[in-house]
Amino acid sequence: MKTHKDLDVWKEAMTLVKGIYKLTAEFPKEEKCCSV
C-alpha cells in the first residue's frame, strides 16, 4: 500500500461521492442553496 487512495474503502467512497454530485447537479437551483 502506497497511500490511502489505494484502499478499497477510499475507492468506494469516491464512487459514492461522484454519484451524489451527479444526482445533486440535476436539482433545481432553488433546492441547492442549503445542500452540503
Helices (H), 1-36: 8-25, 29-32
pLDDT in tens, 10-23: 999 999 999 999 98
Exposure string of 1-32, with b = 16+ CB inside 10 Å and e = fewer, is eeeeeeeeeeeeeeeeeeeeeeeeeeeeeeee
C-alpha cell at 22: 451527479
pLDDT at site 6: 96
Assign 36 a pLDDT band (cuts: 50, 70, 90): low
